[in-house]
Every structure is written in C-alpha cells, then in structure tokens.
Amino acid sequence: MALSYAVPNFLIERDESRCIDCQVCVRQCANEVHKFDEDDEKIVSDTMKCVNCHRCVVLCPTKALTVREFPLEFKKNGHWKSDDIKSIYIQAETGGVLLAGMGNDKPYPIYWDKMLINASQVTNPSIDPLREPMEIKTFLGRKPASLEIENGKLKTKLPPQLELEVPVMFSAMSFGSISLNAHKSLARAAREVGTFFNTGEGGLHRDLADFGDNCIVQVASGRFGVHQEYLDAGSAIEIKIGQGAKPGIGGHLPGEKVGSEVSQTRMIPEGSDAISPAPHHDIYSIEDLRQLIYSLKEATNYKKPVFVKIAAVHNVAAIASGIARAGADVIAIDGFRGGTGAAPLRTRDSVGIPIEFALAAVDTRLRQEGIRNQVSLVIGGSIRNSSDIVKAVALGADAVYIGTAALMALGCHLCQKCYTGKCNWGIATQDPRLVKRLNPEIGARRAANLLKAWKHEIKELLGGMGINALESLRGNRLMLRGIDLTEKELEILGIKAAGE
C-alpha cells in the first residue's frame, strides 16, 4: 500500500485547563476530528481531518479550542508556495481534477481598496442621515429613453421594474449547493428588508412558493426545475450564461448532495451528479439569446424583467452591449472573486477579471453607445462591506449581489469545503443532521441584520458626500479617487488619482 504524502493542514490546540470534557466538539464535528478516548478519559483530536471551519471553537462553552495553520514549513522558496507543492502531491495520488469551494482566494490586488470616497467640506454641505430624508431605494429594469407627462400624470408605460429598499440582493445560490434552511433564511430576510433572493440553478422548493414577491428565478444551462409555475412564481427571471467563479463552464453539484428534496425540486434522479453544460445548448449566438429572452417574456406576459447574468471576462463591455440590445432588462456581472459550491480549482483562480474593471468598462461603453438606460447593472463577486457597495454604485452599478457575505451572515467560516457536503454550519449540505444546525428564524434575522446595518452605513457615506439619493451617486465617478493605481487602471476605471 503506497504511502500518502498528505500532512495535516491545520493544528488544533486544546487548553486543558479550560476543557471540561463536555464533548460538544465531539458531537458537532461532521468530519469526526474529535473523539472521546475511554481509556485515557479525555478528548483526542485527529487533526488530519480538520478543515478549519471553527464549529468546535465557536460552540465550545469554555472557549478552550483554537485552530492554526499547521506549522510545517517547506524550505523557503520564492516560486513554489506550499499550496502549489501540495496540489501536485494530491494530483499524483488521485489523478483527479482539483476541486474548490467559495471564491478565488489568491492574493490578487483588491481594487475596491484602491479607491477612496469623497466627503463634503465647505463647498457642498454634508447631509445628516438621522435628521434628513435620504432615499436609497432603487429600481431595477429597463428605463424608457424619454418620458411623456400629460396633465401632471405619467403617460409613458414603464417596462416592469423590481423595487429594492436597499441596493443589495442575495445572489444566485442553488438549492442543492446550499440547504433548504439556508434558502429559507435568505428568502425571509429578503422579504423583511424589501429586496430579493435568487433561486440559482436548482429550482424553487415548494416550501418557498410563497416568497415569489421577493424571488428571482434562474434559468441556467441545465434548465433544472424550469417549468411554467416556476417562471410564474418569481418576480424576475435570470438567464445564467456564466458565473464569476467558473466562467466558461456550467454548474456542478456532486451526487452526494442530491437527496430526495433536491431531486424533486431539480427534476433529476436522486444521487446523480447534476452537471450543467457549459453553454446553453440553444444559445450559440447573440440572436439565440434574444430569442430566449423574448420567449421568457412571452411566457410571462412581459410582466417580469429578464436578467442576463454573465461572468466578468475579456471584452465584457462588448458582450454587455450585445446583451442590452438583445432585450435584457438587467445585466448581472459576476467578478472573478465570486463564490461557488464546487468548481475546478484552476478555473476558479485563473479565469475571469476583477469586477471593478468589468463594471467600469460596461458602464462607460453603454453610456458611450447611448443605451445605458436600457439596462440596469447588478454586480457581484465577493462584495465585502458597505463601502464596496458605495464604490460600486459610484462606478456605475444599480445594485450589488452578495453571495459569500450572505452565507457568512448565516455562519459560513470560509473553510472552502462546500463540495464535500459536510458543511458544519448547515449551509452547504443536504445531510439532515447538519441542515438542522441552521435555524431559519435565526439565519433570517442575521441576514436581515447585515443588510440593515449596511443600509445605515450607506446612508452615512452618502450623507458625508452631500448626496441624499442613491440615484445621484450612480455612475458618479467624480466621487471616487484612486490610490496606488497605474495610469491605465485609472483610465479604465474612469476615475482621477487622489490629489487631483
């Protein structure tokens, strides 16, 4: 039997003076890391299996545990990092494609952190969000090129719009990749805050049929769960062409995660891998996309906006222009930091471009072509906080999608092992023992709290800029300055350098 070269990735430290042998850690670890040794009458930990999800650390009633990087060091090497070396060992042993969960974690630059926001001083008074009205509501959908008013009333018929109380929506995460309780949490939070969640490509579970007013239903290349009632249930329909984590390939749900509920909702056999094809096999040109967009509009009587979601890749501006002209009401762009339940590691880490550039490029191009009003732009790709959102709106976004941040609100600790189906927090799993851990009442409250907190912070930042409506910030590049950016980067982002 050949020796495996695998070594632990993490080290578990237990403070014996604090450990009371309550065995909560033993019971809560889905990877069976902790065990109670009857002979020695103490808990022992098999650190090889630890994925650093922090479940045991958080639940330990005396906070006796901590987890660190395993302090094993390779000889210093400026070219070969330990992850690169370990990847080779794994592939030499398995011959398989390396899988990863969540978003790109490589140390590429974060461009949000290279942009700074303005504040009013002297020439333009700032606004106090606690004392003055401030509007951060926004509407997603096609806006007409002109408005006709007759007798003080609007005569132009508006295309269908989605009304958002806050410019943040929960992005597409399929039922299958995440649990029903996670979906329920997001659905309830969306309803409470006045925004939307997205079914992802897994269909809409019957328990969530009532949440249609806050739901965007997705039509992806596998067409899982797509039927007339599904289209009727949602407030908008999103055609998924690609996602930031794995541009160019389709979704992948391992068979372990396809139980009876997932099977019913997706309309596929239990236990079978659900692999969406890379392209939609009925979309081979922009004209085909237009046909699908209008088929969906016909099927729903033109009552719902149709979104098209693409990954941020090269030439994204030209692609977006084509999509706008193909009749989409909203274009959703997902940057290379976007998360996933399962993707090949190399695709996740090397394919796609940062959303900051994609957004700026698309917004600029659509304005230049005079068609910016025809679509709303929604962007995503590991948006981390309210200042990222404000910067995104300033670059041209109408709203943002959050996926990773939403799951973190529910308890995700970014251990990136979603594809194993053993999520200890009850999020990225279908195992009923684990799914119970996410109480939708608690999850909904946490997710709603996050959005409410960000809503306050956005108002603070807007007020600081002397702006009292989100509409006034959209595409307002003058509110941003760049630092540590090259001339070219500043040019593409369309912003001035700090000091200018």
Cα distance between residue 133 and residue 136, in whole Å: 10
Among 205, 437, 459, 474, binds other proteins (CB under 8 A): 437
Q: Which stretch binds other proteins (CB under 8 A): 39-47, 82-90, 206-214, 436-444?
A: 436-444
Start-end of H helices in 311-385: 316-325, 345-350, 355-368
Nearer residue to other proteins within complex by CB, 94 or 439: 439
Grouping H, G, I as helix, E, B as strand and the rest as coil, residue 447 is helix
- Side-chain half-sphere CA neighbours of 398 within 13 A: 24
Among 110, 439, 478, 486, binds other proteins (CB under 8 A): 439
Nearer residue to other proteins within complex by CB, 17 or 146: 17
Among 113, 369, 441, 484, binds other proteins (CB under 8 A): 441
Minimum Å distance from CB 426 to other proteins? 8
Nearer residue to other proteins within complex by CB, 360 or 410: 410
Nearer residue to other proteins within complex by CB, 20 or 483: 20
Cα distance between residue 46 and residue 10, in whole Å: 10
- Count of residues near other proteins by CB under 8 A: 20
Q: Which stretch binds other proteins (CB under 8 A): 315-323, 356-364, 438-446, 491-499?
A: 438-446
Minimum Å distance from CB 38 to other proteins? 18
- Side-chain half-sphere CA neighbours of 390 within 13 A: 28
Q: Strand locations in 54-177, DSSP E? A: 65-69, 99-100, 115-117, 138-140, 149-150, 153-154, 162-164, 168-170
Cα distance between residue 466 and residue 165, in whole Å: 20
Nearer residue to other proteins within complex by CB, 45 or 424: 424
Grouping H, G, I as helix, E, B as strand and the rest as coil, residue 244 is coil
Minimum Å distance from CB 431 to other proteins? 8
Among 8, 28, 36, 87, binds other proteins (CB under 8 A): 28
Among 8, 10, 11, 24, binds other proteins (CB under 8 A): 24
Nearer residue to other proteins within complex by CB, 105 or 431: 431
406-435 mask for other proteins (x: CB under 8 A)? -------------------------xxx--
Interaction residues for other proteins, span 211-240 (CB under 8 A): none
Cα distance between residue 450 and residue 435, in whole Å: 22
Between the two ends of the chain, the Cα-to-Cα distance in Å is 66
Minimum Å distance from CB 42 to other proteins? 13
Are the C-beta atoms of 174 and 341 separated by less than 8 Å?
A: yes
Minimum Å distance from CB 61 to other proteins? 6
Among 6, 7, 13, 23, binds other proteins (CB under 8 A): 23
C-alpha 183, offset from chain centre: 13
Q: Which stretch binds other proteins (CB under 8 A): 23-31, 71-79, 209-217, 311-319?
A: 23-31
The two three-digit tokens of residue 329, written as one number:
């009401």
Minimum Å distance from CB 439 to other proteins? 5
Regarding 269 and contact with other proteins (CB under 8 A), the answer is: no
Cα distance between residue 43 and residue 3, in whole Å: 28
Minimum Å distance from CB 113 to other proteins? 34
- Residue 418 CB partners (closer than 8 Å, separation 6+): 101, 102, 177, 340, 341, 342, 428
26 by Cβ neighbours in 10 Å (0-12 / 13-18 / 19+) ranks as middle
Interaction residues for other proteins, span 31-90 (CB under 8 A): 59, 61-62
Tell whether the torsion through CA atoms of 153, 234, 387 and 132 is positive or negative.
positive
Applying CB under 8 A, which residues contact other proteins? 17-18, 20-24, 27-28, 59, 61-62, 431-433, 436-437, 439, 441-442
